[in-house]
Structure 1
């Protein structure tokens, strides 16, 4: 068996370095540094994973039990925390803030907030119709879960980014049903 020449060795090492750098660059540009996770509160099983970046808005939308109008709790990804930015509602009655500095805008009644959470617990139910909105995608939390869930943000490691690059994990792709409800595949 013949030994590779010095030139062949150098070429092989350079090719490996170029391939490694190209893969690292592709992985870095393919996905965000964080993942929004919806996990079963009891088992911890991940029901939904969605790459997010700092500043991404994450909205918990539901129908108010008394007023029967939509309420949106708007969070913003801030590192590995969800910072509650504002609450938006469309009527001003029982069970909704009344003595806070509420603004009336084109969005509706807006209560500006600035509270951060490592985890946001939610008990999805059919009547309020809890949905999670991330970007242009809506996820039906009632259809997604069998009970309470925990919403959180985690750091993404190189393995997560490589999975995105190779399209191994499709759990973050929403599927629209015929009634425009989003379920998770």
Structure 2
């Protein structure tokens, strides 16, 4: 026999179940949206289309290797990931040319000028690159190399670090 008490307890149990379900869904949403590390992103400057995404951590090395457009000599430009920034930590080049440091102390190692500053020279939130077919821009993330010209069809890109969500990690 159903009584008023039985109906009230049933409604209370149903209400508690709905509240528990809503709480679980909210927590799942936070977990999915929560940060699970960092991601290096190479995207089209104009459209935002992503060409490359690569997981990184604080301390990861990111570098650009290319041939200088005027000097026609190799350049290696190295960065370290720090939170959501790229910190320029080293440059190697074989001749002085536009865009290369000319007023800093360098070491000559087997004909290559090496600028290894005691403190970072530049900290960037993003790096703009125009991958060139003659320059043959290569992006190096730790041990992985990407041909930026082929990956982007020589389209201007922006390279930056962002926090990665669980959704990013799962897709």
The two structures have a TM-score, normalised by structure 1, of: 0.66
Match in the other structure for 2:134: 127
Match of 2:101, SS?
coil
1:122-157 CA-partner distances (Å, limit 9, x unpaired): 001100011101111110111111410000000011
Deviation at 1:107, TM superposition (A): 9.2
- Higher-Rg structure is 2
Q: 1:97 to 1:116 in 2, by over 3 A?
A: closer
Match in the other structure for 2:60: 56
Instruction: Measure the CA separation in 1 of the matches of 2:64 and 2:95.
Output: 19
- Structure 1: runs of 5 or more not aligned: 1-23, 25-31, 169-185
1:159-183 CA-partner distances (Å, limit 9, x unpaired): 223x1xxxx4xxxxxxxxxxxxxxx
* Counterpart selection for 2:160 from 143, 152, 164: 152
* Counterpart selection for 1:37 from 34, 41, 45: 41
Corresponding residue pairs, total: 138
Q: CA RMSD in A?
A: 2.8
Q: 1:107 to 1:115 in 2, by over 3 A?
A: farther
Correspondence list, 1:89-104, <5 A: 89=93, 91-95=94-98, 96-104=100-108
Contact 1:34 1:154 in 2 (8 A): yes
* Structure 1: 4+ residue segments shifted above 6 A: none
Q: Which has the higher contact order (CA 8 A, sep 6+)?
A: 2
Q: 1:115 to 1:97 in 2, by over 3 A?
A: closer
Deviation at 1:108, TM superposition (A): 3.0
Match of 1:156, SS?
strand
- Structure 2: runs of 5 or more not aligned: 1-30
1:27-77 CA-partner distances (Å, limit 9, x unpaired): xxxxx6100000011100111100001111100110012322210110110
Contact 1:63 1:69 in 2 (8 A): yes
